[in-house]
Amino acid sequence: MKAMGQPPLSPSTRLTMLASLSLSSKERETMLAAFGHLSQAVESLEGFVSPEATPATTFSPQKSRQEDP
């Protein structure tokens, strides 16, 4: 699915968010791979919830007001 919102953070940008944790080189390698999957997942979600993909009406204010005592 094509992303409609912001591009996801890159795996290397995500790794900088862990800078204070002093990861070993093996851990950095593991997390870079995991963050690659995460970035792809985020990109898919952007397409799923983008304004273009959202139905015009998912909420009816008039109905809600009527139900509100």
Residues that bind another protein (CB under 8 A): 1, 5-6, 8-9, 14-15, 17-18, 20-21, 23, 27, 30-31, 34-35, 37-38, 40-42, 44-46, 48-49, 54, 58
Question: Which residues, in sequence order, are CB contacts of 3 under 8 Å at separation 6+?
Answer: 43, 44, 46, 47, 50
Report, in Å, the least distance between residue 3 CB and another protein.
Answer: 11
What is the end-to-end Cα distance of the chain in Å, rounded? 42
| Least distance in angstroms from the C-beta of 15 to another protein | 7
